[in-house]
Amino acid sequence: MKLKQISIFLENKKGRLWKALSIMKDAGINIRALSIADTSEFGILRLIVPEPENAKKVLEEGNFVVKINEVIAIGVPDKPGGLDGILEVLNKADINVEYLYAFVAKRGEQAIVVLRTEDIDAGIKALEDGGVTILSSEEVYKL
């Protein structure tokens, strides 16, 4: 199960993050999860939102560069070592994790983590084989 993520290019300039978020506010888009990768020169804002295509459209109208790509959402046991067990699965399958970040919301006893592997399909397969819960888009948007 792949989940769509939107990424937004942010110049390292005052007010840009706010500008991107206020465009989404005006469009009534509720953010399910978010992370920022920052370098000294630019930042990448990554978001999980319902209707990513619509979010992309309104952001592009506001002159942002936006890209949609796929990530994996997984349920992680909310206890010490929960994430460790999952990364172990990927490590054993020799799969590289590009980045990951967590949802604020929980799903029962599980924390939700978004992760991006170099090869998404290989990542999903390894996780499934390792018995990890992978969430569908519908499940994520309902959180």
Question: Which residues of this chain interact with other proteins, rule CB under 8 A?
Answer: 5, 7, 9-11, 16, 37, 39, 41-42, 44, 46, 63-67, 69, 98-99, 116
Category of 116 on φ-ψ map: left (φ > 0), alpha (ψ -120 to 50) or beta: beta
Q: Considering the complex, state which of residue 5 and residue 107 has its C-beta at the smaller distance from other proteins.
A: 5
Among residues 68 and 142, whose Cβ is nearest to other proteins? 68
**Least Cβ distance, residue 26 to other proteins (angstroms):** 18
CB closer to other proteins, 2 vs 16: 16
Helix count and strand count (H, E) for the chain: 5, 7
Q: How far is the CB of 47 from other proteins (least distance, A)?
A: 10
Nearest distance, CB of residue 11 and other proteins, angstroms: 5
Quote the strand ranges of 17-136, DSSP E: 33-38, 42-48, 66-77, 97-107, 110-117, 133-134
Nearest distance, CB of residue 98 and other proteins, angstroms? 6
CA angle 132, 133, 139 (to 5 degrees): 160
The pair of three-digit structure tokens given for residue 141, joined into one six-digit string? 């948007």
| Residue number with CB closer to other proteins (32 or 46) | 46
Question: Can you give the C-alpha Rg of the chain in angstroms?
Answer: 16
